[in-house]
């Protein structure tokens, strides 16, 4: 299959699924976390596919790689928020593990894409 759009990239598709999962999980968070971890996790999760898409739309490979690196940073931020949410008891061990597993897979895809673009 040829890539016609960022929407054809598996890493973007998986990142969208991750963001969707974060929205569903954070709906269960306490209301007093709305401007805390809920907001932070949602913002970080949305930033991942958004940066993949924005980078894809750039004219240069260097700019694309830079946006993919920003996506990687947002992914690590989200992982940290998930770990903290679990530590403070607003996210179950299982939900955190599932989120971290998805994040790890996306991280590997991002690294592979960056490596292929840098060649």
Domain assignment of residue 101, given as a range:
6-118
Q: What percent of the chain has pLDDT over 70?
A: 99
CATH number at 107 reads 1.20.1440.60
1 within a domain of the structure (yes/no): no
Cα 100 to Cα 94: distance, rounded to the nearest angstrom: 10
Q: What is the pLDDT of residue 1?
A: 67
Q: What pTM was estimated for this model as a whole? A: 0.95
Using one digit for the tens of pLDDT, what is the confidence trace for 18-30? 999 999 999 999 9
Distance CA 49, CA 33 (A): 24
User: Residue length, the chain?
Assistant: 119
Judge whether 80 lies within some domain.
yes
How many structural domains comprise the chain?
1
Question: What is the reported pLDDT for 59?
Answer: 84
pLDDT digits (tens, 9 = 90+) for 42-57: 999 999 999 999 999 9
Summarize the confidence of residues 78-92 as an average pLDDT: 97
Q: How far is CA 8 from CA 3, 13, 52, 67, 101, in A?
A: 6, 8, 11, 17, 22
Domain assignment of residue 26, yes or no: yes
């Amino acid at each position: 299959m040829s890539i016609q759009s960022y929407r054809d990239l598996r890493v973007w598709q998986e990142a969208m699924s991750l963001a969707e999962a974060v929205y569903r999980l954070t709906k269960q968070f306490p209301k007093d976390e709305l401007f805390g971890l809920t907001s932070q996790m949602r913002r970080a999760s949305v930033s991942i596919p958004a940066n993949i898409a924005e980078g894809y739309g750039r004219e240069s490979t260097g700019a694309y790689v830079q946006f993919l690196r920003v996506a990687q940073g947002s992914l690590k931020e989200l992982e940290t928020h998930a770990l903290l949410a679990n530590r403070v008891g607003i996210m179950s061990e299982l939900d955190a593990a599932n989120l971290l597993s998805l994040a790890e897979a996306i991280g590997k895809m991002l690294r592979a894409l960056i490596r292929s673009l840098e060649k």
